[in-house]
Amino acid sequence: MRKYISPFICGFGAGVLQVVPVAKSLACCFIVPLAAFLSLYLELKANPSSEQIQLKKGLIFGLLTGLFAALFGSFFDIFITLITKNNDIVATFPELQKMINGFPLSEELKNEVLRLFNNVRREILQYGFSPLYTVSVIINNLVINSIFGMIGGLVGVQAINSKLKNQN
């Protein structure tokens, strides 16, 4: 576990930043890839070496950073929803309704989709928890953060190796 302390720390940081609106709008899609890069950089600082980092290590560190970010991000998202009984789905429901009504779908399908999301909205407003919302948040976070973490890890290794090569 000690070996993977830097992905844990950076993943935690990324998970926190993902639920902070201002940070999210500034960093856009760079939070998790930067966290993956930072985890590799911290690892290099903790265990200094002039040897090139293996791509496999970058991939694993990126994946772990993404997974930790997904874990913490999901936890904070679900926890904040539970306390505030409010979230993106609730806040943007009228907008969502307008969008779905604008889609070229049959009235029956539109009503069915809206009924489904109205149920999710009602559950969140009432209990602060919706099983469907929770599952979707966890799946979304796991898939997207893992992919972006691995991209960050692969690109990060090359940047660090390029720097090491120049130093050597």
Partner 1 sequence: MFIKLQINKLSLLYRIFITLLIFLFVASIFFEIVIHTIPQAAYLFPFVKKGFSLICHQNDEKIISLFGFHSLVCARCTGIYLGMFLISIYTMIRPIIKTAGYKLFIIFTAPMIADVIFVNMKLYHYSKISAIITGLLFGSILFVYLYNGLNLLIIENRIRH
**Which residues of this protein are in contact with partner 1, per CB under 8 A?**
18, 24-25, 28-29, 32, 54-56, 58-59, 73, 88-89, 96, 99-100, 103-106, 109-110, 113, 116-117, 136-137, 140-141, 143-145, 148, 151, 154-155, 157-159, 162-163
Q: Given the complex with partner 1, which of 45 and 95 has the nearer CB atom?
A: 95
> Do residues 40 and 53 lie in contact, with contact meaning Cβ atoms separated by under 8 Å?
yes
Are the CB atoms for 10 and 42 separated by under 8 Å? yes
Q: Least separation, in Å, of the C-beta of 133 and partner 1?
A: 9
Q: Which is nearer to partner 1, 6 or 160 (CB)?
A: 160
Cβ distance to partner 1 smaller for residue 7 or 33? 33
Smallest gap from residue 9 Cβ to partner 1 (A): 20
Q: Are 58 and 44 a contacting pair, CB within 8 Å? A: no
CB of 78 to partner 1, least distance (A): 13
**Do the beta carbons of residue 161 and residue 54 sit within 8 Å?**
no
Q: Give me the least distance between CB of 131 and partner 1, in Å please.
A: 13
Cα first-last separation, the chain: 31
Pick the closer one to partner 1 by CB: 5 or 98. 98
Q: Is the dihedral of CA 86, 125, 69, 34 positive or negative?
A: negative
61 touches 43 (CB < 8 A): yes
Q: For residue 11, which amino acid is it?
A: G
